[in-house]
Structure 1
Amino acid sequence: MSDAANKTPAPKIILDLVARFRELEKDYLKGRYNETQLRRDFLDPFFKTLGWDMTNESGHAEAYRDVIHEDSIKIKGGTKAPDYCMRLGGVRKFFVEAKKPSVKIKDEPDPAYQVRRYGWSAKLPLSILSDFQEFAVYDCRIKPKLSDKASNARINYMRYEEYPERWHEIASVFSKDALLKGSFDRYADTKRGMRGTATVDDAFLEEIEKWRNALALEFKRKNPKLSARNLNFAVQLTIDRIIFLRICEDRGIERYGQLQALTAGPKIYERLFDIFRKADDRYNSGLFHFSKEKDRTSSPDELTPRLKLDDKVLKPILKGLYYPDCPYEFSVLSADILGHVYEQFLGKVITLTSSGARAKVEEKPEVRKAGGVYYTPTYIVDYIVKNTVGKLLGSPVNGAEAPVAPCAPAGRLIAEGESSDDPSREGAGRYKKQGTGRIPSPLTPAKAADLKILDPACGSGSFLIGAYQYLLDWHLNWYTTNDAESHAKGKQPKIYRDRRNDWRLTVAERKRILLNNIYGVDIDSQAVEVTKLSLLLKVLEGESEETLQTQQRLFHERALPDLSSNIKCGNSLIGPDFYKGKARGMFDDEETYRVNAFDWQAEFKEIFSRKNPGFDAVIGNPPYVDSEYMKQYSNKERDYCTDTYSSASGNWDLFCVFVEKIHLLSRQHGFASMIIPNKLGSAEYASSIRRLFEKSYSLHTIRDYSKVPIFPVAVYPMVFVSSPTPAKRGHMVLLERMERSGSGEPFIEGSHTLCYEDYFSEEGQPWRIFSQIYEGSPVAKMSKSFPPLQDVAEVLGAATVSEAYEIKNLISEYRGEVSGCLRVVNSGTIDRYQALWETASLRYLGDSYSKPIIRKTALPKLPPKRLRQAQTPKIIIAGMTKRLECVGDTLGIFVAAKSTSIVLPKINIRYLLGVLNSRAVAFYYNSTFGGNRLQGGYLRIGPPQLRMIPIPIIETEDFANEPQHEALVSLVDSMLDLHRKLPEAKTDGERTMIQRQIDATDREIDQLVYQLYGLTPDEIRIVEEATK
C-alpha cells in the first residue's frame, strides 16, 4: 500500500499468529471454528498490534473509545452491524468485518457485498474484510450492487503467509499511528476516482425524492381535495415514519421485515397504519400521534389516517428497503448523513398545477437562486458546540478538547501539536480566575438541566443533534466518574451496563436531557418534522428491543418524548407585531402561513420569564438571502425587518439580521455562535451589525475559513463566538486562520489574540483581520491620525449596470478621428500611473476593442453626469486588482466605464495620486478590506472602501507649498513622464534604463509617503514585508 522502501518489519506477535494459524489451518477451516473464536484468537491481537485499544484499557468514555465491538444480531442476509468499528476521537474511520476461516473471502461475493454496504452506508472511504487467513481492503465509495463479484472495488488482497513480508502495507495505512499522521487519508485519496463512485447521501436523496414524487402524485389522485400544504404534510410525514421504522428495524428495536411483509397482501396503506398506531403506543412521539391525550399540547394528526393510497406506490418503496436489493445498511446510517440528505430534500416543495388537479415538485425560489442547499460540515458543528455548550458545561468530555477562549499571548502562532481548544485558553462564562486565563466552573447534571440551547434556523437539525450528542457524552462522563454505581440504582437510575458491560445512559435520562436542554425553530414545517425525527433517532441510538422493553417496565413510560414544545415552526425574525396597524384582510391564508409570525415570549414562556431571560447558547447556520431576492419574493417581511432591526440598513443580507436576533435571544453571560459569510467583517451592507458588535456585543473567537472550501459555491465563511454584553476595554479576541491539509481536513494555520479596540471597534468600519496580522501594525495609527479620503475628495462609482449598457452602444474603434472624442478605459486597461489605452485591448460586455472611443458626435448621448465626470480632471481606480491601481486624468479625456471608481480631488491631483499608488496605502487597503478578496487574491475595490482610506494632510495654512508636498508632486510628475517615455523606447537597453528609473522613483515615493504618515522604521518593515 505504501512504498516498500519504508518497510515496517512484522512484530513477533504477528509472526507467532501466522505460525499458529499455519500449524492448525486444517482445524480452523472446519465450519465448527466460528467468528467469535476467530476474533478472540487472531483479529483482536492483530489489530492490537496495530496500536488499537481493543478492550478500552485506557478507560475512555463510550463516545471516545478506539474500537466499537458490535453485537452480532443476525438478520436475513447477514449480521446487523460490522464486527469492529475503528475510531479516532469518536469519529468512525473504517470498519472491519470478520468471517470464519471456512469462508472463501477472495471469491465469495456475499461477504464483500456486506462489508461494502456497511462502509458505503456509513460514508467511509475504506473498510476491511478478513478471516485472518485472508485480508481484503475495499473502496467503500463505490456503490455496491448485488451482482458485483468479490473482486469489485477491492483495492488490496493478501493471504496470512504474506503478512511477514507485506506487514508495512497494512501498518502504514491501518495502524492507529498511521491514521493520526494522515497516512490513511492520503492512501484513500490515491484510490479515489474509480468508476461507479456514488456517495450514500446522494443516492439516498435520489431514492427518497422518487418516493416524494410518487407519493405526491398518488395522494393527490386518490384525494383530490388535498391542498398543497396538506399534501406536503402527508408526504413528508409518511416518508419520515417509514424511514424511522426501517432504521429501528436495522438497529434491532423493531421487528425486522415488518414493513416488507406488508407487500405480500392488499391494502398496504391501511395495514401500514396498524404499525404506525402500535408505534404511537410504544414511542409517544409526535411522529406517531393520532388521538388527543392528557398532558400533550400538540395536536394529533387527523389527516393522514383518513387518506387513501394505492398499493402500486407503496409496494416498490417498501420492497426496496431490504436486503439484498437495498444497498443501504440502516444500522450504520449516521445522523450526519441523514441530515445531509434531508437538508437537500427540504430544498424542494410540492406544488399544484394551475388547475389544482395535479401535484408537482419544484425547487424553492431561494434555493434556486442560491444554486442549491449546502449542508454544514460536522467539524463546524462540533467546533461551535464545543465553544458554546462546552463552555457552559465547563468541563470537557472525557478529556476531549475543551472550548476555545480569547486568552493567549498576543500574536502567538499555535505550536505544532497544540490545539486551539487547549483548556488553558478558556474564555467567558462562569469562571474561576487562574493566571491570565480563566477556567469555567464545571457544572453538575442538576445545574446543567437549566441550560437552554437553541438553533433558530434549525433546518434538518444538524446543530441540535451535535449539541444533544455533546450533552449526552458529558452526562455519561459525569455519572461514570462520580460514583457510577450510585447513579445506576434507585427508582430513576441514570445509567446502566449494556451487554458489553459498558455504561450507558438510560432512555429516560436521554429523554430528560433532550426535553430540558434542546430547542429549535424553523419557518419550514417540514424542516421541523425532520429535526424531530433526527433527535428521536438519536434518543434510541444504541438501544435494542430488549433494552427498551426492560426500561419501559422500569419507568412505566413510553420510549420517546413529544418534542412539540421544544421544536417549533415559525419565523424567527418576524413577531406578531408584523400585523400591527394592518387590516387582516390585507393577508390571505397562504401569505399568513408563508410569513409564519412567531412570538418568542409566548412560545417559550418559561425561558423568557426566568431571571436573566433568554437562551444560554444560540447556535446555527442562518439562511444567506440577499436584498435583491427579498425585494422580489418577500418585500413585506423585508420592510418589517428594516423597521425592527438595527442591522437591517442599506442592501442588507438576511444573515445580518439573524446575527442581531441571536444576541437578542441570548441571556447575559450566554453565547451566540454561527457560521456566516466573512462579509460580516468587511461588506458595506454589514456595517450596522458591526456597530452592534462594537457597542453591544463581545466577540470571543473568530475562525476564518476563507481558504477552506466548506460550501461548493463562492461563499467565504467564518465562525464567530460572542456574548450579548458589551466588551470591556482591553478585551481580547482569539482569531484563528484555517487552512486545508493535503487530505482535505481543515487545520489551524495561525492564531492571534487581538485587541478589540484596534481591530473591531471603529464605527462600523471593516474588521482588520482578513489579511496577514502583524504585531505593531500601523493601520490603526494611520486611521486615527489622518482624515479619510472622503474629506479631501469626492469618490464616486463609474457607470451603473444600466449606464454600462448605454455606454456600450456608444463605443467604437479609434480610426484617426479629429480631436474631441473621449477614450474609454475600465479595470483591465488601468495600471499604476498609466492608462493602457493603446497597449492593451479592452473587453467590455462581451466585445473587444483595441482603441475604444466615444466620438464627439455621440457625446450628447452619454448620461449628463458621466459626461461631466469624463471631462473633469480626476483619478480613475481599477475595480478588481491585487493592490490599488490608480491613473490620473489631468486633461479630462477618459470615460471610466463599469467596475471602476473615480476620485475628484479637492487637493492636488498628483499629490493624491502618489499617495494612493503607494505601498503604505496598499498595505492599509489589504489589511482593512481583505475580506473582499476573491479567488486568485484579487480585491474588489469600490467607493465605500476607498472613502475610508486615510490621507496624510499636513495641517498648515499653506499645505501645497510644504516641502514634502512639493517633493511628492515632483516625484509623481517624474513618474508620469517616465511612463510616457517607456512605450516610445526603441531598444531593449533604453526600455531597461527607463524601467529602472520608474522603479527607483517608485521607491522614493514610497519612502516619502512613509514619512507623511509618520511611520517608524519597525512599521515600515511591516509594510514592506506585507507588500513585497
Structure 2
Amino acid sequence: MGFEQSFSIVSALVKDFQANEKYYLSSDYSEIDVRRDFIDKFFATLGWDVTHDIQKNPYEQEVRVERLVQVAKAQKRADYSFYLAPNFRDVKFFVEAKKPSRNLENADDFFQTVRYGWNATTPIAILTDFEELIIVDCRFRPDIGNILNSKIERFHYTDYLNEEKFRKIYHLFSHEAVADNSIEKYADALPKPKGKALKKGLFKGGYQSIDEAFLLELDEIRESLAKSFKKNNEHLSSEELTEATQRVIDRLVFIRFLEDKLIEPHHYLSEFGDRKTAWEDFLLTSRSLDAKYNGIVFKKHQIDSHNIIEPDDKTFSFICEELSHLNSPYDFDKIPIHILGSIYERFLGKIVNATGKRVTIEEKPEVRKAGGVYYTPQYIVNYIVDNTVGKLIEGKTPKEISKMHFADIACGSGSFLITVFERLLDYHKLWYQANPKQAEKDKCVFVDDAWRLTLLQKQKILLKNIYGIDIDQQAVEVTQLSLYLKLLEDETTATANDTWVLFKEKLLPNLNKNIICGNSLIGSDIFEQQTSLPFTKSLSRTSFGRGTEGGLDELKLKPMNFEDVFPEIMNEGGFDAIVGNPPYVNLVAIPADQRKYFQKKFRTCKNKSDLYSFFIEKALSICKNKNYKLGYIVPHTWLATDSFSLLRKLLLDEEKIEKLVELGFGVFKKVVVSTLILICSNDNKRIEVIDKKFNKKFETDSQFWLNDNYHIDLEFDKEKQKIFDRLKVNTTTLDKLILFTRGIKTSNDQKFISRENSDEDYKKLYRGRNIKAYRLDWEGEYIWYRPDLMKKKVGSLPHSKELFEVPEKLISQRVNSSMQLLVAYDGGQNYFLDTTNVSRYESWDKKHSLKFILAILNSRLINYWYTNKYKMPTIGLYELHSIPVKVIDFNNDSEKTIHDKISSLATQMLTTKKQLQQAKTESDKEYLERKCDSIDKQIDQLVYQLYGSTEEEIRIVEGNIK
C-alpha cells in the first residue's frame, strides 16, 4: 500500500472519530474497542498485517498482538510488537495502546512504554490511543522522575489529515520505511537526552543503555554482597566469595525472570523479609523452587549451609527491594536472552579479591591483559550459527536432528549455545507447523492456531543437541542459567504447572553432562611429561595452571579427555558442528610446561602462534569426518603471519575452508583487533570470500593459496597479482641485506623509564609512537639502562648496548593501526623500546647504503605491497624481513646511479624533516612540507624505475595509498 492510499484510508478513520468523538472519548469506550476500531486499521494502512489475513503461520507473523493479561492489576506486555521477516526474533518497535478517555501525558504510561523499548533495546516506541500518537525515546534507562522528557514528538488525530505530518509518520513507521532502516536512521539523528549520568552508588537513575545499566547494577550488587559476606565470614577466600556472590545473583535474576515471564504467579523478591529476614526468606524460596525447577541455580550450595553467616539484612533487603518488580526498571519478559548473555560475559570478566578484611572487585588477569572481554556481537553469532547448525539441520526431521550434537568448546557465558538452542527450537516449531500429523503424534500441543513444543520436548532438544565446555566454573554456571532462561522463555504458569503436576517432571533438566567445566585443549596426558616438576592438587593458585609448589595444579588446569567426558558422541565419530569465539592468547603468554605440551600435541603449533589456532585444530579433530561444520570468529593474523603457516597448511592442504568473512576492526568494543569468520567443512574445492556486509566478494579454487608459505590474500585481484609478481623478479628479501630485532623489553617500565637523566646509565629513549617516516619524535624520556637488573625478571629483553651504540641504524614502528610501514633513521646512538624493530648493525650488507634501504621501506610501492599482503597492525620481524628488496648490481652503471640518487634523496629528506621539526613560522612549515612531498615523489619514481613498474601498475599503487 502506497502513501496516497494509506493517507486516504487514515483520513476516513479520522472523520469517523471526529463524527463520534464524544462517545470515543467517554469512559465507556474501552482499550479493546479502540484497538479494534482504529489502531489495528491505522497500522494496517501502514502496510502491516495486523490481523494476520496474509501471515497465517503464528511463527512467521510480523505483528504480534497481545491479549490483555492482568497481573497484580498491571498489564505486563506491550500491545503490539513489530518485526521484519525473516527475523522474527528482534523487535523493531513497540506500540502501547490506551483507551482515548485516558490522558496519555502521565508518568506511569510513559514509564511502561519506555520500559518495554529500553529492555528490548529498541530505540523508540509509540504510545497511542488514536486520539494522540506519541513517539517515545527508549534509548536510555527509564527514570520515573523525568520520564515525561522522553517524549520526542506528539501528533493529535487531526494531524493525520495534514499530508505533511502524516507523511512523517508514514516514512518512519510504514512497513516499507522500517524495512529501509527508518527506525535506526531516526534514532541516530536524535540528540542524546539531557539528564543526570548514571552515578556510582547502588541503583542511581540516569541515562544508560540496558546492558551498561544492568552490568553496573550487577557489579554493585556483587561488591555489596561480597563485603557483607566477608564482614561476617572472615574465613571466606576470594574464590569462595566469587562463587557465593554469583550464585546469589543468579538466583535473584532467575526469580525475576520467572516473575516477569508469568511462569510464577506471584512476586517473590518484593516479599522477602515479610516472614523472616530477607535472607531467610530467600533461602526458603530457593529450597521451594529447587524442588520444582531442579538445575544448577537452586541446587544446594554453601550459601544454603549454616557454615556461612548470612549477609547484613539491611544490605540484602535493599538489594531485593531495588531489584523487585515494584522498583526496578528491568523487564525480563522483554530483555533478549542474548543481551543477558552479553551482560554476564562482561560480568564474568571480574572476580572478588579478598585480602584480610578487605574486599575489592578486580578484572581477571587474563581479561586485564587482553584489554577487555571479547563478547561477540549477536549479528555475528547469528551468521555463524546459521551457516553451520542452520545448514546442517536444513530439510531434516526432528528424529534425524535428535541424533546430532552441537558444541562450543570455549563457551563463556553461552551466547553461541543460546543461539544454537534458539535455532533448533524455531526449526522444530516451523517443521511441526508444516507437518501437523507428526506434531500430533509427537505430542505437541495445539494452542492459538499453532502447534507448540511442550516443555518436555524442549528439554529433550537441549539434552540431546547442546554441549559446552569452559575452564571457568562461573562461566559454566552462567551458560546453564542462560540455557534455562531460553528453555522457559515461552512458558506460562499453566504450562509450567502441567509439567510439574501432571507429568511429575521438574522444569529444568540436569545439564551437568552437557555443559562441562574442563580444559578443551589439555588432556590428562599432560602429566606424562612431568619429570622435574611435581604434581600438586593445591587449592592455592598463583598463576594459570600452576600450583604453589611449582608443579601443575590439576584443579586449576582441569585437564579433560573428550573420549571420557563424551564417550557416546566420540564413539559415533564426533560432533556435527562446533561454533564459538575461542580465546586469543599468544603462545608466549602461556606457562612453559603448557607450551611444551602444546608443541607436542598440536600440529599447528609454531613460534608465536595462539591458542585460537589450537582451538581450530582441536575442533576439527573432534568433529565427524564428513558432513560437519566449524564456525569461529578469530583474528585476521593467521592469514599471513609466519607463526600460523602450519595452520594455513592444515586448512588448505585438507580443503577444510568453506567461507572466509572479512569483518575488519571494530567488532569488539575497546579492543583493537581485526577479525574474520572462518567456516570449515569437508572436501571444499572452492572457497568463498565474503565482505563485512556479508556480500560475496569472490570465489576461488581451494588450491589457489598453496604458495610458499600458504599466504591467504582476501583482496586478490589480477592487477594486484601482477604487481606482486613484478616484485619477485630479481629481488631478494630484506633479511638478506639487513636483520632487525625487537627493541628493549624492560620487565618494569615504571622502574627503568623516567624523564630524568641522572647519570651515564641513562640513555635517550624512543617508543613506537615516536617513530615516523624519516623522523624521530623524542618525548623527553630516558631509560635507566641496566641489563643486569632487567634480566632478573622473566620475560625481559634488555639486549646489549652494542645494538644501540652504532654509527647508524634503522628503526620501524612495530604497531601501527594504519598498517603502514614507518621507518626512521638514527645516527645518534639512541635506545628504543620493544614497540619498535631495530636494525642490527653487524648484519648489514654495507654495499647497499642504509639510507637507500630506508627510502625503499618508506616508498609507496613497498607500502602497497606490505599493506596488501599483511593486513594487521603488528609489524613483526617475519613480515619485515620478507619485504622484497632489489639487490643492486654495482657493476651496472644504471642501477648504481639509481641507488646513489635514492640514497642522496633520503639524506635530503632526513635534513628537511629535521628542519620541519624546528620550523617556527607557518610559511616555513608549508614550504618544508612541500619540499618533503617533492622528495617523496622523486624517491617513488626512482623506486618504480628500479623495480620495473609499468604505468598501469604505478597508477594502481598511487590510487591505493593516500
For normalisation by structure 1, the TM-score amounts to 0.78
Matched with 1:475 is 428
Matched with 1:902 is 839
Matched with 1:134 is 132
Correspondence 1:594 to 2:556: yes
Write the distance in 2 (CA, Å) between the matches of 1:376 and 1:348.
18
Aligned CA distance change for structure 1 residues 1021 and 478 (closer, same or farther; 3 Å): farther
Matched with 1:845 is 781
Instruction: Work out which of the residue numbers 464, 473, 489 in structure 1 matches 2:440.
Output: 489
Moved more, 878-887 or 128-137: 878-887
Instruction: Check the 8 A contact 1:704/1:737 in 2, yes or no.
Output: yes
Q: How does 1:211-360 map to 2 (within 5 A)?
A: 211-220=221-230, 226=236, 228-289=238-299, 301=301, 304-306=304-306, 308-309=309-310, 311-354=313-356, 360=360
**Structure 1 residue 754, shift from structure 2 partner:** 4.0
Write the distance in 1 (CA, Å) between the matches of 2:382 and 2:39.
33
Matched with 2:794 is none
Moved more, 646-655 or 181-190: 646-655
Matched with 1:921 is 862
Instruction: Work out which of the residue numbers 397, 415, 421 in structure 2 matches 1:444.
Output: 397
Instruction: Check the 8 A contact 2:241/2:352 in 1, yes or no.
Output: yes
Q: How does 1:759-838 map to 2 (within 5 A)?
A: 759=705, 761-763=707-709, 765=711, 767-769=712-714, 777-778=721-722, 781=725, 788-790=732-734, 792-797=736-741, 799-802=743-746
Q: Which amino acid aligns with 2:848?
A: I
Q: Which amino acid aligns with 2:253?
A: I
Instruction: Work out which of the residue numbers 462, 471, 474 in structure 2 matches 1:514.
Output: 462
Matched with 2:899 is 969
Secondary structure of 1:288's counterpart equals coil
Aligned CA distance change for structure 1 residues 557 and 810 (closer, same or farther; 3 Å): closer
Secondary structure of 1:580's counterpart equals helix
**Structure 1 residue 92, shift from structure 2 partner:** 1.0
Instruction: Check the 8 A contact 1:352/1:359 in 2, yes or no.
Output: yes
Write the distance in 1 (CA, Å) between the matches of 2:930 and 2:554.
74
Instruction: Check the 8 A contact 2:118/2:138 in 1, yes or no.
Output: yes
**Structure 1 residue 178, shift from structure 2 partner:** 1.8
Structure 2 gaps, min length 5: 196-205, 541-552, 784-797, 917-922
Q: How does 1:988-999 map to 2 (within 5 A)?
A: 998=935
**Structure 1 residue 521, shift from structure 2 partner:** 0.9
Q: How does 1:515-534 map to 2 (within 5 A)?
A: 515-534=463-482
Matched with 1:437 is none
Matched with 1:850 is none
Write the distance in 2 (CA, Å) between the matches of 1:886 and 1:120.
50
Aligned CA distance change for structure 1 residues 251 and 1020 (closer, same or farther; 3 Å): same
Moved more, 156-165 or 379-388: 156-165
Aligned CA distance change for structure 1 residues 72 and 969 (closer, same or farther; 3 Å): same
Instruction: Work out which of the residue numbers 510, 519, 522 in structure 2 matches 1:562.
Output: 510
**Structure 1 residue 454, shift from structure 2 partner:** 1.0
Matched with 1:153 is 150
Aligned CA distance change for structure 1 residues 799 and 225 (closer, same or farther; 3 Å): closer
1:877-926 deviation digits (Å, cap 9, x = unpaired): 5655865466789xx77768553543755474157667545544232111
Matched with 1:947 is 881
1:441-481 deviation digits (Å, cap 9, x = unpaired): x3222222222111112111111011111111122222222
Instruction: Check the 8 A contact 1:828/1:842 in 2, yes or no.
Output: no
Q: Which amino acid aligns with 1:81?
A: R
Structure 1 gaps, min length 5: 1-5, 291-300, 396-441, 739-746, 813-821, 848-860, 933-939
Instruction: Check the 8 A contact 2:855/2:903 in 1, yes or no.
Output: no
**Structure 1 residue 128, shift from structure 2 partner:** 1.1
Correspondence 1:30 to 2:26: yes
Aligned CA distance change for structure 1 residues 243 and 977 (closer, same or farther; 3 Å): closer
Aligned CA distance change for structure 1 residues 219 and 993 (closer, same or farther; 3 Å): closer
Instruction: Check the 8 A contact 1:798/1:901 in 2, yes or no.
Output: yes
Matched with 1:645 is 602
Instruction: Check the 8 A contact 1:263/1:318 in 2, yes or no.
Output: no
Moved more, 90-99 or 585-594: 585-594
Q: Which amino acid aligns with 1:385?
A: V
Write the distance in 1 (CA, Å) between the matches of 2:433 and 2:468.
29
Write the distance in 1 (CA, Å) between the matches of 2:226 and 2:907.
74
**Structure 1 residue 390, shift from structure 2 partner:** 1.6
Matched with 2:174 is 175
RMSD: 4.0
Q: How does 1:92-171 map to 2 (within 5 A)?
A: 92-106=91-105, 108-148=106-146, 151-165=148-162, 166-171=165-170
Write the distance in 2 (CA, Å) between the matches of 1:995 and 1:142.
50
Write the distance in 2 (CA, Å) between the matches of 1:237 and 1:286.
9
Correspondence 1:666 to 2:642: no
**Structure 1 residue 604, shift from structure 2 partner:** 0.9
Matched with 1:186 is 185
Secondary structure of 1:909's counterpart equals coil
**Structure 1 residue 648, shift from structure 2 partner:** 4.1
Matched with 1:420 is none
1:71-90 deviation digits (Å, cap 9, x = unpaired): 32212352111111111222
**Structure 1 residue 277, shift from structure 2 partner:** 3.5
Instruction: Check the 8 A contact 1:279/1:288 in 2, yes or no.
Output: yes
Secondary structure of 2:474's counterpart equals helix
Identity %: 31
Write the distance in 2 (CA, Å) between the matches of 1:887 and 1:385.
47
Instruction: Work out which of the residue numbers 715, 733, 747 in structure 1 matches 2:673.
Output: 715
Q: Which amino acid aligns with 1:946?
A: L
Write the distance in 1 (CA, Å) between the matches of 2:799 and 2:502.
85
**Structure 1 residue 952, shift from structure 2 partner:** 4.6
**Structure 1 residue 755, shift from structure 2 partner:** 4.5
Secondary structure of 1:753's counterpart equals strand
Instruction: Work out which of the residue numbers 677, 694, 701 in structure 1 matches 2:659.
Output: 701
Q: How does 1:389-404 map to 2 (within 5 A)?
A: 389-393=389-393, 395=394
Write the distance in 2 (CA, Å) between the matches of 1:240 and 1:830.
50
Matched with 2:550 is none
Correspondence 1:1008 to 2:951: no
Instruction: Check the 8 A contact 1:878/1:901 in 2, yes or no.
Output: no
Secondary structure of 1:930's counterpart equals coil
**Structure 1 residue 223, shift from structure 2 partner:** 5.5
Instruction: Check the 8 A contact 1:923/1:1026 in 2, yes or no.
Output: yes
Instruction: Check the 8 A contact 1:72/1:79 in 2, yes or no.
Output: yes
Moved more, 127-136 or 259-268: 259-268
Write the distance in 2 (CA, Å) between the matches of 1:232 and 1:825.
42
Secondary structure of 2:688's counterpart equals strand
Matched with 2:547 is none
Write the distance in 2 (CA, Å) between the matches of 1:120 and 1:560.
29
Moved more, 712-721 or 224-233: 224-233
Write the distance in 1 (CA, Å) between the matches of 2:752 and 2:111.
64
Matched with 1:741 is none
Aligned CA distance change for structure 1 residues 902 and 213 (closer, same or farther; 3 Å): closer
Matched with 1:423 is none
Write the distance in 1 (CA, Å) between the matches of 2:910 and 2:351.
62
Matched with 1:198 is 208
Q: Which amino acid aligns with 1:735?
A: V
Moved more, 896-905 or 568-577: 896-905
Aligned CA distance change for structure 1 residues 227 and 863 (closer, same or farther; 3 Å): closer
Moved more, 681-690 or 66-75: 681-690
Instruction: Work out which of the residue numbers 638, 642, 647 in structure 2 matches 1:680.
Output: 638
Write the distance in 2 (CA, Å) between the matches of 1:153 and 1:871.
67
Q: Which amino acid aligns with 1:969?
A: H
**Structure 1 residue 827, shift from structure 2 partner:** 7.6
Instruction: Check the 8 A contact 2:375/2:668 in 1, yes or no.
Output: no
Q: Which amino acid aligns with 1:617?
A: A
Instruction: Check the 8 A contact 1:694/1:763 in 2, yes or no.
Output: no
Matched with 1:931 is 872
Aligned residues: 893
Correspondence 1:379 to 2:379: yes
Secondary structure of 1:155's counterpart equals strand
Q: How does 1:719-730 map to 2 (within 5 A)?
A: 719-723=677-681
